[in-house]
């Protein structure tokens, strides 16, 4: 049986800075990394592999250089990887992304039963948290988002028990398999790849599925299959180092100025 | 005495055979280690042996070392005496001192007599020190020490016994030249009947013989194995300073680091046999000092103990009885111990017999990181940041030029700029160290040096990951840097951080990088000497104490350059802390410890600050961004940051421009 | 010798404007009919000039206008010539696509703005009321009704509450199977309502629950969903302009759902102002039932654990963090920070210095060897801003620094700073907030 981790390669947005003069992004030297939430999805799938003997499969939709990221997943212990890459997949929103991923999982399940699909809670670039629910809905799998603990998986009974972390409460839920789980970053501590595994991963074969293989209707994928269109992108205006008032002599007034700013910039409501 | 001779011959053959067997068993294990070439440069090695083994140069660094020198030289002399003793015992008709020309005979007799006295005294001093003024490490009071010291004492007493009884019998021609024995004879034996004197002579002779052979056979099983190994260990020592680790080759099927004792090289194993358990390394170690579980002496001891315990299993390729890494008992090193080392090099610097302690710790770190992926949690982020973002904090490349602030950014251009000013991650990203960077830039300009920077393209040198045993990531980082330097055509480099300095100077040399690298303190001191840099005025910084960076000082012997600079700027040489120069005490930031919390014992930086505060300073002068951070933090912990400040050498120079 | 031959209009070729591409995910590559675009390792397009026909399709899809058409000087000349010749001619009327017109007509069937009222065990989430505020504005602009969607077990009272906040109609599905939130019954219920009543806009809170639900609903309805919007407005074609941060807050994007309906957005709590509550307002409740019974749903909620009272503060997940450092001078002074935190629904964090001094537990430490946080607002009080601290909080949306030392590096990363004594400024801030709140209520 398979546990499928969906991972995405993203630009390391923490490394992106805005040029104060031109207002454009400085992307020079900014690396592409494995989405920090998805590392935990991967880790959780590996733990399920270790614990229940599931085969850990990693899939990712992205440009050809996503291969580098998939190798990192292999180095950590994934059994197989599938790269979903095709020009026709480009420019996808979450609807079109979940279309490709769900179809890939369906394809995998034709060869071997899928017990669980694990996604990250969200990505750091798109930051929508919509792909997981999209996949679950398309496949009709039980949808369990924001899971911070998988208590058990009962394979013979086809059941899973998880804990979801919501603001102010935890929910303990039991669901039938197959299920799709999106995980928080607290769910596990990451393992680190050993050198022999890294070297093995560098040589390993990566399966590539393009649309010729997948055969999806071009109207449902990529830019054409996207329901949302990005109309305009601009940089947020943000104050840099604005010193408010004379805090040393007029603390009250400075505090009032600050409060005014925070309210004015929609940061605070009273 | 013929039955005696037969008996003695039997005893001596048995004892020698036993000794030989013991030595064979011990030294055969050494050959299990991996290869390492320490057979080159014979001349230099012989010289080292003379200076450090026979000259006892390092032993003498500590005041009490003189006692060892006395004992050591007495022993060397008495080696002759004992050889004569044994041969004479076997072939009384052929071998005897008295058969030598009288002049020589008398001289030797005198020397032997005196050497025995000195040895006896040295042993007594050593014994009383252990009893009444014990050195800090308990091992000094071990049974082993007392057994050996007592054996030596008895041996000397027996020596005097034999000669005194002969003198009392009137059979010793050289009696006049053996003042000590003569004194013993006069004090204890005058007027004794002849047959008891003969009896006494026989008794002492046999006592001497048995103790001597007993001692011989005790040696291989005690720490006094060093009597046999220390001299060769000095011969085989590393000829340069220990300041880098060997490269690893990353090909499928290899293992990395050391998990099993035979993965050390033969020399590493030989090291463990050579430890005298003098405890100097423990005494110097900042981790031991602050109550951490790490004690470099014990690491060396554990390696030896592990080898002895597992020896036959290794040979027969059966399961180990004791894992090297694990802890819990002698012969096994715990993971906590392995992670406590700051790679300050104090242990290596102190060891009188040139044992390389901390490189073995790094070997074991390599195993843990590369084969087991086990390391303290704090390091996860560091490793990720270093690998993916090429800086320890994961800051954006755009931040690397922030220090330039109002200065214009000057990119390095081959042919146009002479020096690459390599800023380093701390110098570029830490607000405090940016001040140092700016100061250096001003100084370089004032001296008319042509320099440029890599700006956003600069990468981390990888020092921390290498010391932490993550050789794989270091290897990749090094390759990237080399590529960058080659592309940019860099040949001369100024670094602000001693860790970058040391990496490019030594670690990168293994990758074929032949750069001229200079640390800013060296360059500034040179510029001052050559009068290319002129100071406008002296600066009053109050009492200035200077703190040595391990990677400049012990690693590269750069002790004087920063001190000279301080003297030029303030008009006074800096005040020395109790531990300074080669004995300086680490700030606590090296070996990857900048990125780890200390959970056990006292904080190393606080310990160092306390040492500094003893000198009542107004300014603590440093030459390294790690020291800067650690000492500033230490000051804050001691609530002394309003009275004392930490400044980099470059900053004080900039104030005098 | 005058050449009367018709001059061929040059098309030029596409070219990337340096520094503008944000590597959006190869949008430009996809529509290119000539396969003239390759993406490089930085995720930027490389245009193969020999192949490019200058069709401009890539230009149109690039969200940041990073592509332009480039003409050689020679081509420019020809262009100028053509322009001169055709000056008199009438400008070409842009032909309206027949397909597009059909779509537009289909979209017109959808009317009304809906807000999903989120509740747990009958207790409504405040974000729902905030959404009614912005929803009312949108509805007014569109000239349509603002409706609430109330789903749960025994939650009818929320319909009236939604009227108090501005809704004029409520769709209510009240059934014990909805007692606990579960994705499947909920999303099916909403899809049932949407298919029946066809709203043009559906808004939900970007809470754990809302994001879970919205993703499923949008997928089932095959429509666009925009996450975490910070701004909502209507354009001249009655389209919803949804503005949201992306790229870790480094950019803002305005997103449209052009050819499907409803247009769905989630909005984070505390982003939209809470509208005035007026209990006198009334509205119409439309009761609906959905086919389905408990046995149809295999997912079971076994237990709900309230984590609010447990006292374990989760600094990493907090939206507002008030952090103190050595500049707080004493352990007791952290109470001042706690008071402000209580007012702002935030938590108190600290720097390593405060932990070393024994003023705060290590779990609250933010930075290199502590937590990495990304709150909406981070207050750094008496924190110098050493890099070891910065790495843990520099990605916060807004940083406020309060420090006595104007030279402290924290001001370099702060958006707003006050130079002064924290022990005076923080209480002043807390008092001011309390004052304003009482004023508003009174
Ligand atoms: C500025 C901008 C704004 C955008 N806003 C929206 C928007 O509001 N609505 C919208 O629908 N789209 C939007 N998009 C498109 C969207 O961000 C992504 O391109 C979409 O493909 C994936 O969504 P996500 O990254 O937010 O993933 P999330 O839904 O946040 O990801 C959740 C999890 O799904 C899995 N996953 C996501 N993508 C992949 C993948 N490619 N391969 C494998 N697993 C994956 C991972 O496990 C991940 O952790 C926007 C794009 C840009 C450039
Ligand atoms: S290098 Fe320094 S810290 Fe490490 S063992 Fe030696 S003395 Fe101790
Ligand atoms: S390792 Fe060297 S310094 Fe340390 S105890 Fe042994 S001999 Fe002494
Ligand atoms: S202009 Fe047209 S042909 Fe040229 S690159 Fe753009 S989409 Fe392709
Ligand atoms: S569409 Fe624009 S932003 Fe996206 S990859 Fe192409 S050029 Fe870059």
Domains held by chain C: number:
3
Any idea what the CATH number is for the domain that residue C20 is in? 3.30.70.20
> Do C58 and C121 fall within a single domain?
no
Pairwise CB contact (< 8 Å): B596 & C369: yes
Chain centroid to CA A252: how far? Answer: 45
- Over the stretch C175-200, which tens digit does the pLDDT of each residue have? 999 999 999 999 999 999 999 999 99
Q: How far apart are CA B386 and CA C264, in angstroms?
A: 41
On the 0-12 / 13-18 / 19+ scale of CB atoms within 10 A, B133 is exposed
* Phi, then psi, of C148 in degrees rounded to 5: -110, 155
| Average pLDDT for C296-315 | 83
> Do C71 and C144 fall within a single domain?
no
What string of DSSP letters covers B220-262?
Answer: GGSGGGHHHHHHHHHHTS-SS-----------TT---S-SSGG
Asked if residue C417 has a cis previous peptide bond (ω within 30° of 0), the answer is: no
The answer to whether the beta carbons of residues C272 and C135 sit under 8 Å apart is no
Pairwise CB contact (< 8 Å): A252 & C400: no
Pairwise CB contact (< 8 Å): C386 & B395: no
SS3 of residue B363 by DSSP: helix
> Do C241 and C283 fall within a single domain?
yes
Any idea what the CATH number is for the domain that residue C372 is in? 3.40.50.1220
Pairwise CB contact (< 8 Å): B373 & A194: yes
Indicate the average pLDDT of chain B. 91
Least confident of B421-430, C77-86, C113-122, C128-137: C77-86
For residue B371, the 8-state DSSP code is I
The answer to whether the beta carbons of residues B56 and B72 sit under 8 Å apart is yes
> Do C268 and C140 fall within a single domain?
yes
Residue B575 has pLDDT above 70, yes or no: yes
Q: Is B338 in the pocket of ligand 2 (CB under 6 A)?
A: no
Q: Is A129 in the pocket of ligand 1 (CB under 6 A)?
A: yes
Q: How far apart are CA B262 and CA C148, in angstroms?
A: 74
- Over the stretch B475-501, which tens digit does the pLDDT of each residue have? 999 999 999 999 999 999 999 999 999
Ranges of chain A whose pLDDT falls below 70: 20, 22-23, 239, 270
- The number of C-beta contacts closer than 8 angstroms across B and C is 35
Residue C274 in any domain: the answer is yes
Pairwise CB contact (< 8 Å): A15 & B396: yes
Nearest to B431 among C353, C369, C409 (CB): C409
Q: How far apart are CA B176 and CA B98, in angstroms?
A: 14
Query: C57, C88, C119: which is the final residue of a domain?
Result: C88
From the CA of C62, the nearest ligand is 5
Q: Give the closest residue to A219 by CA, choosing from C259, B483, B450, C363.
A: C259
Nearest CA in chain C to B638: C357
> Do C138 and C229 fall within a single domain?
yes
Question: Which one of A9, A190, A192, A203 makes the best mutation probe of the B interface by having the most chain B beta carbons within 10 Å?
Answer: A192
| Residue B203 at interface with chain A, using a CB cutoff of 8 Å | no
Question: Which one of A29, A33, A38 makes the best mutation probe of the B interface by having the most chain B beta carbons within 10 Å?
Answer: A29
Residue C74 in any domain: the answer is yes
From the CA of C50, the nearest ligand is 4
- Over the stretch B193-225, which tens digit does the pLDDT of each residue have? 888 888 888 899 899 989 999 988 988 888 888
Residue C234 in any domain: the answer is yes
Minimum-distance ligand 5 atom for the alpha carbon of C39: 5
User: What residues of chain B lie within 8 A of the CB of A74, using their CB?
Assistant: none
Sheet hosting strand A142-154, strand order edge to edge: A207-209, A80-84, A55-61, A2-6, A114-120, A179-183, A142-154, A159-166, A169-176, C300-306
Q: How many other CB atoms are there within 10 angstroms of residue B223's CB atom?
A: 20
Q: How far apart are the first and last CA of chain C?
A: 90
User: What residues of chain C lie within 8 A of the CB of B402, using their CB?
Assistant: 412
Query: C54, C88, C122: which is the final residue of a domain?
Result: C88
> Do C377 and C431 fall within a single domain?
yes
> Do C277 and C414 fall within a single domain?
no
Pairwise CB contact (< 8 Å): C409 & B381: no
Residue C372 in any domain: the answer is yes
Q: Is B271 in the pocket of ligand 3 (CB under 6 A)?
A: no
Nearest residue by C-alpha to atom 8 in ligand 3 = B278
What string of DSSP letters covers C303-346?
Answer: EEEE-STT----GGG-SEEEEE-GGG-SGGGHHHHHHHHHHHT-
Q: Which two tokens stand for residue B273?
A: 């046999």
- Over the stretch B296-322, which tens digit does the pLDDT of each residue have? 999 999 999 999 999 888 888 888 889
User: What residues of chain C lie within 8 A of the CB of B426, using their CB?
Assistant: 387
Q: Is C26 in the pocket of ligand 5 (CB under 6 A)?
A: yes
User: What residues of chain B lie within 8 A of the CB of C390, using their CB?
Assistant: 393
Q: Which two tokens stand for residue A7?
A: 């991972």
Pairing label, strands A55-61, A2-6: parallel
Residue with tokens 């291969």: A67
| Residue A95 at interface with chain C, using a CB cutoff of 8 Å | yes
Quick one: pLDDT at residue C95? Answer: 55
Which residues of C fall below an 8 Å CB-CB distance to B? Answer: 326, 353, 356-357, 368-369, 385-388, 390-391, 409, 412
- Provide the residue range defining the domain that includes C235: 107-296
From the CA of B587, the nearest ligand is 2
- Over the stretch B591-641, which tens digit does the pLDDT of each residue have? 999 999 999 999 999 999 999 999 999 999 999 999 999 999 999 999 998
Any idea what the CATH number is for the domain that residue C154 is in? 3.40.50.620
Nearest to A192 among B373, B396, B457 (CB): B373
Residue C326 in any domain: the answer is yes
Residues in Cβ contact with B72 at an 8 Å cutoff, skipping those fewer than 6 apart: B56, B59
> Do C118 and C227 fall within a single domain?
yes
Quick one: pLDDT at residue C145? Answer: 95
Quick one: pLDDT at residue B201? Answer: 87
Nearest to C386 among B394, B431, B596 (CB): B431
Distance B79 CA to ligand 4 centre (A): 93
Q: Is C56 in the pocket of ligand 4 (CB under 6 A)?
A: yes
Nearest CA in chain B to C370: B378
> Could you give all domains of chain B from N- to C-terminal order, each with its CATH number?
37-235 (1.20.950), 261-371 (1.10.1060), 380-656 (no CATH)
Distance C74 CA to ligand 4 centre (A): 20
Q: How far apart are CA B252 and CA B256, in angstroms?
A: 11
| Residue A165 at interface with chain B, using a CB cutoff of 8 Å | no
Residue C187 in any domain: the answer is yes
Nearest to A17 among B375, B394, B398 (CB): B398
What are the residues facing A170 on neighbouring strands?
A165, C305
Q: Give the closest residue to C219 by CA, choosing from C187, C196, C246, C241.
A: C187
> Do C137 and C264 fall within a single domain?
yes
Give me the long-range contacts of B570-575 (CB less than 8 A, separation at least 24).
B570/B538, B570/B539, B570/B540, B570/B541, B570/B544, B570/B652, B571/B538, B572/B544, B574/B544, B574/B545, B574/B546, B574/B621, B575/B543, B575/B544, B575/B545, B575/B546, B575/B615, B575/B617
pLDDT band at C89 (very low <50, low <70, confident <90, very high): low
- Over the stretch A202-247, which tens digit does the pLDDT of each residue have? 999 999 999 999 999 999 999 889 999 888 888 877 767 788 888 8
Residue B29: which H helix or E strand, with range? helix B2-30
Quick one: pLDDT at residue B138? Answer: 54
What are the residues facing C366 on neighbouring strands?
C371
Residue B169 has pLDDT above 90, yes or no: no
Residue B546: which H helix or E strand, with range? strand B544-546
Nearest residue by C-alpha to atom 8 in ligand 4 = C32
Q: How many other CB atoms are there within 10 angstroms of residue B117's CB atom?
A: 18
> Do C239 and C277 fall within a single domain?
yes
| Residue A124 at interface with chain B, using a CB cutoff of 8 Å | no
* CA B308, B256, B592, B434 torsion-angle sign: positive
Pairwise CB contact (< 8 Å): B375 & A192: yes
From the CA of C68, the nearest ligand is 4
> Do C390 and C284 fall within a single domain?
no
Q: Is C225 in the pocket of ligand 1 (CB under 6 A)?
A: yes
pLDDT band at B2 (very low <50, low <70, confident <90, very high): very low
SS3 of residue A152 by DSSP: strand
Pairwise CB contact (< 8 Å): B393 & C412: no
> Do C199 and C135 fall within a single domain?
yes
Chain centroid to CA A8: how far? Answer: 6
């Amino acid at each position: 049986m398979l546990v499928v981790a969906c991972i995405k390669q993203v630009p390391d947005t923490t490394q992106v800075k805005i040029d104060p003069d031109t207002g454009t992004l400085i992307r020079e030297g900014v690396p592409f990394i494995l989405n920090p939430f998805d590392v935990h999805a991967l880790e959780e799938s590996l733990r399920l592999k270790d614990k229940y003997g599931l085969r850990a499969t990693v899939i990712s939709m992205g440009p050809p250089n996503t291969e580098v990221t998939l190798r990192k997943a292999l180095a950590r212990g994934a059994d197989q990887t599938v790269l979903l890459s095709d020009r026709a997949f480009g420019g996808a929103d979450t609807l079109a992304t979940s279309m490709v991923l769900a179809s890939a999982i369906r394809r995998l399940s034709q060869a071997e039963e899928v017990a669980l699909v694990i996604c990250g809670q969200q990505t750091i670039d798109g930051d929508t948290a919509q792909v997981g629910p999209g996949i679950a809905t398309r496949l009709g799998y039980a949808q369990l988002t924001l899971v911070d603990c998988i208590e058990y998986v009962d394979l013979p009974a086809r059941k899973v028990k998880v804990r979801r972390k919501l603001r102010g409460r935890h929910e303990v839920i039991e669901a039938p398999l197959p299920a799709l789980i999106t995980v928080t970053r607290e769910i596990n501590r990451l393992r680190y790849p050993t050198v022999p595994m890294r070297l093995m991963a560098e040589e390993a074969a990566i399966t590539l599925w393009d649309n010729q293989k997948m055969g999806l209707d071009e109207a449902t994928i990529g830019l054409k299959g996207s329901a949302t269109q990005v109309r305009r992108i601009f940089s947020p205006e943000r104050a840099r180092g604005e010193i408010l008032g004379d805090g040393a002599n007029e603390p009250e007034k400075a505090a009032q100025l600050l409060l005014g700013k925070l309210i004015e910039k929609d940061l605070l409501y009273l | 005495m013929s039955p005696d001779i037969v008996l003695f011959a039997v005893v001596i053959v048995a004892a020698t055979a036993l000794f030989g067997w013991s030595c064979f068993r011990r030294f055969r294990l050494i050959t299990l280690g991996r290869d390492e070439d320490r057979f080159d440069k014979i001349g230099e090695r012989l010289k080292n042996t003379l200076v450090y083994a026979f000259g006892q140069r390092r032993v003498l660094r500590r005041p009490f070392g003189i006692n060892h020198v006395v004992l050591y030289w007495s022993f060397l002399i008495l080696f002759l005496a004992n050889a004569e003793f044994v041969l004479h015992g076997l072939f009384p008709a052929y071998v005897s001192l008295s058969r030598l020309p009288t002049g020589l005979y008398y001289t030797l007799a005198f020397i032997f007599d005196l050497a025995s006295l000195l040895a006896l005294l040295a042993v007594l001093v050593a014994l009383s020190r252990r009893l009444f003024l014990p050195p800090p490490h308990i091992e000094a009071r071990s049974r082993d020490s007392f057994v050996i010291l007592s054996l030596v004492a008895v041996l000397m007493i027996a020596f005097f016994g034999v000669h005194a009884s002969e003198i009392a019998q009137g059979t010793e021609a050289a009696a006049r030249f053996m003042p000590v024995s003569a004194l013993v004879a006069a004090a204890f034996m005058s007027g004794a009947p002849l047959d008891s004197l003969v009896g006494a002579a026989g008794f002492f002779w046999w006592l001497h013989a048995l103790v001597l052979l007993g001692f011989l056979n005790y040696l291989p099983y005690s720490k006094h194995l060093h009597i046999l190994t220390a001299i060769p260990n000095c011969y085989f020592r590393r000829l340069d300073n220990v300041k880098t680790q060997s490269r690893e080759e990353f090909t499928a099927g290899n293992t990395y680091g050391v998990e099993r004792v035979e993965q050390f090289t033969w020399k590493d194993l030989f090291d463990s046999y050579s430890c005298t358990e003098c405890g100097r390394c423990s005494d110097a170690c900042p981790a031991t000092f602050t109550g951490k579980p790490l004690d470099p002496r014990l690491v060396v001891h554990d390696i030896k103990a592990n080898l002895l315990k597992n020896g036959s299993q290794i040979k027969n390729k059966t399961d180990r009885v004791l894992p090297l890494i694990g802890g819990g008992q002698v012969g096994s090193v715990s993971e906590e111990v392995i992670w406590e080392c700051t790679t300050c090099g104090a242990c290596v610097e102190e060891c009188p017999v040139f044992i390389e302690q901390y490189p073995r710790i790094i070997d074991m770190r390599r195993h843990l990181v590369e084969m087991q992926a086990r390391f303290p949690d704090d390091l996860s982020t560091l490793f990720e940041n270093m690998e993916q973002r090429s800086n320890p904090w994961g800051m954006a490349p755009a931040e690397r030029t922030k220090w330039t602030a109002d200065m214009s950014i000057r990119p390095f251009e081959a042919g146009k700029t002479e020096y690459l000013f390599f800023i380093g991650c701390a110098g570029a990203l830490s607000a405090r160290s940016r001040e140092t960077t700016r100061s250096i830039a001003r100084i370089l300009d004032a001296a008319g040096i042509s320099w440029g920077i890599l700006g956003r393209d600069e990468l981390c040198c990888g020092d921390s990951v290498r010391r932490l045993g993550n050789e794989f990531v270091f290897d990749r980082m090094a390759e990237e840097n080399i590529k960058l330097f080659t592309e940019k055509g860099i040949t001369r480099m100024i670094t602000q951080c001693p860790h970058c300095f040391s990496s490019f100077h030594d670690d990168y040399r293994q990758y074929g990088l032949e750069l001229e690298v200079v640390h800013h303190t060296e360059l500034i001191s040179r510029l001052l000497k050559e009068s290319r840099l002129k100071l406008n005025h002296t600066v009053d910084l109050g009492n200035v104490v200077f703190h040595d960076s391990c990677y400049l000082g012990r690693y590269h012997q750069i002790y004087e350059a920063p001190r000279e600079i301080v003297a030029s700027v303030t008009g006074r040489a800096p005040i020395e802390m109790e531990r300074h120069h080669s004995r300086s005490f680490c700030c606590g930031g090296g070996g990857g410890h900048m990125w780890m919390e200390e959970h056990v014992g006292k904080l190393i930086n606080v310990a160092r600050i306390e040492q500094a505060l003893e000198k009542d300073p107004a300014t603590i002068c440093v030459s390294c961004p790690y020291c800067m951070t650690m000492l500033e933090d230490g000051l804050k912990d001691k609530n002394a940051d309003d009275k004392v400040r930490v400044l980099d050498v470059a900053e004080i120079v900039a104030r005098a421009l | 010798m005058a050449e009367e031959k018709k001059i061929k209009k040059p098309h030029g070729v596409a070219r990337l404007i340096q520094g503008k591409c944000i590597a959006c995910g190869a949008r430009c590559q996809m529509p290119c009919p000539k396969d003239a675009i390759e993406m490089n390792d930085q995720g930027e397009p490389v245009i193969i000039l020999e192949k490019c026909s200058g069709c401009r399709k890539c230009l149109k899809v690039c969200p940041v206008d990073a592509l332009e058409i480039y003409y050689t000087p020679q081509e420019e000349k020809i262009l100028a010539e053509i322009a001169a010749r055709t000056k008199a001619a009438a400008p070409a009327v842009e032909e309206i696509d027949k397909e597009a017109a059909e779509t537009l007509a289909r979209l017109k069937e959808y009317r009304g703005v809906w807000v999903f009222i989120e509740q747990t065990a009958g207790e409504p989430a405040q974000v729902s009321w905030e959404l009614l505020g912005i929803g009312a504005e949108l509805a007014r602009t569109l000239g349509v009704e603002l409706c609430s969607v109330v789903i749960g077990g025994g939650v009818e009272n929320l319909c009236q509450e939604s009227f108090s906040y501005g809704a004029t109609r409520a769709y209510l599905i009240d059934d014990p199977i909805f007692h606990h939130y579960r994705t499947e019954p909920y999303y099916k219920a909403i899809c049932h309502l949407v298919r029946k009543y066809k709203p043009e806009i559906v808004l939900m809170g970007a809470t754990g629950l809302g994001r879970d639900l919205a993703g499923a609903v949008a997928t089932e309805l095959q429509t666009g969903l925009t996450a975490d919007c910070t701004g909502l407005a209507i354009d001249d074609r009655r389209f919803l302009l949804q503005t949201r941060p992306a790229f870790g807050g480094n950019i803002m994007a305005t997103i449209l759902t052009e050819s499907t309906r409803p247009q769905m957005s989630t909005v984070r709590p505390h982003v939209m102002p809470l509208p005035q509550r007026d209990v006198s307002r009334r509205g119409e409740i439309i009761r609906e039932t959905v086919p389905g019974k408990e046995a149809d749903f295999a997912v079971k909620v076994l237990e709900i654990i309230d984590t609010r009272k447990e006292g374990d503060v989760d600094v990493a997940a907090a939206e507002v963090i008030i952090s103190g450092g050595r500049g707080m001078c004493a352990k007791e002074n952290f109470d001042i920070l706690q008071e402000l935190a209580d007012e702002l629904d935030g938590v108190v964090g600290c720097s390593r210095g405060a932990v070393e001094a024994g003023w705060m537990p290590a779990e609250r430490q933010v930075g290199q060897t502590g937590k990495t946080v990304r709150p909406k607002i981070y207050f750094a009080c008496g924190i110098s801003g050493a890099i070891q601290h910065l790495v843990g909080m520099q990605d916060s949306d807004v940083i406020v620094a309060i420090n006595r030392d104007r030279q402290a590096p924290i001001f370099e990363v702060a958006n707003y700073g006050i130079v002064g004594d924290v022990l005076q400024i923080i209480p002043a801030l807390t008092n001011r907030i309390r004052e304003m709140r009482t004023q508003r209520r009174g």
